[in-house]
Amino acid sequence: MKKFYLIRHAQSESNAMQKVSPNANIALTKLGEKQACEVAEWLITHVPTPDKVFVSPYIRTHQTAQPYLDKINQKADVIEPLREFNYLDYEHIKDLTYPQITKLADDYWAKGEPSHKDSPTTDDFINLINRVKMVRDEFGLLPDGTYVVFTHGMWLGMLMWQLVLGYQGHDCPRLLNMHKFREFELTVRPKNCEVYALIYDGKHSTISKVRIRGED
């Protein structure tokens, strides 16, 4: 059996609406740093000796993981497809207010076109689907053990969406329904530093929330 502890990163400057930065460079707030230390204490109690720790390439997951890594004296492996859904181009939002950015985001989801990109440098919805499935497949190839994964809110939402729909890489029109996904994702979105347990038993995958904590 394989067990993955999945953690949404701690509060970021974007979550707190403090600063607009390129998605990969969004850092933690002071509260986020405190949350990272708190989740490290929780993890050291529940997962003192993980087989591996994984992070996305984005700074906020590295910063969230670091207090835990310091305690267990390990380094994290970076999994590129764990990164957050980057659907708005920084060049299009860098001079906007947060209400204006929210309006652009709402317009993107209202458009509901899975192959639409805000720019050539951003993701489309199909990319998010494929990246999450790619990581699921990679997890499935790992040996039995316990793993800790620091990732992102919308990434976790897509993971749960795929599990709910029983998606295994086949044609699945419901998976491409961006309006339904957005409704689902906003309902289940983890708070910062909440922890989910994903269990592979060889035939089935189940996911459940095991730590309720954090602030957006």
Domains and CATH numbers, the chain: 2-192 (3.40.50.1240)
CA dist 90 and 165 (Å) reads: 32
pLDDT at residue 186 tops 60: yes
- Is this model's pTM higher than 0.75 or not? yes
Q: How does DSSP classify residue 195?
A: E
C-alpha to C-alpha distance for 95 and 169, rounded to whole angstroms = 39
| Helix residue ranges per DSSP H, 94-147 | 98-111, 125-141
Instruction: Look at residue 215 in the predicted model and tell me its pLDDT.
Output: 45
Which positions ≥6 away from 52 have C-beta within 8 Å? Answer: 77, 142, 145, 147, 148
Spatial distance between the Cα atoms of 67 and 39, rounded to a whole number of angstroms: 9
The arithmetic mean of pLDDT across residues 43-50, rounded, is 96
Q: What average pLDDT score do residues 31-60 get?
A: 97
